[in-house]
Structure 1
């Protein structure tokens, strides 16, 4: 399967909205509102257009990934920039064919090129470690809500980028985390 990864364009928004909705509709660990989150994030200061990527097969959009800017703040109120991966979505009929992995790898590569050092996510504990993700607790980083430790992960895009970084992740208001 020939998968082409490219930057999302404005004319892709409606298709991407529907793709995300369809990708998460049967997902148990979801609020089923990821497509609305993406709409809000596109209009935020956290949005980095180059990190909003789509996957195409035969000119059809079949996958999407978004990395947005977040902050990690320590007890001394020092703030460190990182990225949040949310969401990665692949149409159900082509899941399990490596498209999500290609999106993750392409997003990591582009984020490194743009000078970002790390990514934080909340996701499946058996999937993301394949890409180098480790538990956030190994870095001394916590998410601002109560979720199982096994699902809170981070990756250093450049070696040592999370060294001496610890604290609580602060998501943009568009995530609507109370």
Structure 2
């Protein structure tokens, strides 16, 4: 794997001793990005006790003894329209410290863990994210494969719901609906309580965040 500036980056499975550092990296990576503050570090913290959590695919990236990146996996399901379900691998959050973003660390974590997911028998990966970024890893919109996203408005395409076949033809002839694993649902009050374990940071409403334009239009 090639990283910018010839960095020596080690990718390995997350260990228990890494947990708080991984949560810190996740908090730093997502703070004020999509919303004021963030909840992704709390999602990571709680998922480790969730039966859908996949520790074998949850990795850290480290430079020396410093953790600079992290990826978490869980199990999800596509409910088929004709009955039954198909298991999927779900990754996210994927986190890289801001000062190391753009160096290839996030992409390396994604590629390594998807290869391992395929070896473990997963045939499909489902995520929500930026389609322009994730297309480089072979992801396409769920609608393109006949899979709807349960959180999207009825009858509307949701371009941020993405799928990738780890086995060619895994979704051939399949139509259905994917719903995020319950572990991604958070209580804002619980997030705020958990956040007190970390250094104080200011929550800001910034352009580009979810809902920013709607709020600006009503000011």
TM-score (norm 1): 0.93
Written as runs of structure 1 = structure 2, the 5 A alignment for 1:1-178 is: 1-28=7-34, 32-146=38-152, 149-176=158-185
Equivalent pair of 1:63/1:91 in contact (CA under 8 Å): yes
- Cα distance between partner residues in 1 of 2:163 and 2:8: 29
Q: Which runs of 5+ in 2 are unaligned?
A: 1-6, 187-219
> In structure 2, what is the Cα distance between the partners aligned to 1:103 and 1:165?
29
CA-atom RMSD in angstroms: 1.7
Q: How many residues align?
A: 177
- Tell me, yes or no, if the aligned pair for 1:83 and 1:120 is still in contact at 8 Å: yes
Q: Which runs of 5+ in 1 are unaligned?
A: none
Q: TM-score, normalised by structure 2?
A: 0.76
* Deviation for aligned residue 1:58: 2.0
Q: Which runs of 4+ in 1 moved over 6 A?
A: none
Is the CA contact 1:24–1:30 (under 8 Å) kept in the aligned structure 2?
A: no
C-alpha distance in structure 1 between counterparts of 2:92 and 2:36, whole Å: 12
Deviation, structure 1 residue 15: 0.3
Summarize the Cα distance change of 1:119–1:113 in structure 2 as closer, same or farther, 3 Å threshold: same
Which structure carries more strand by proportion?
1
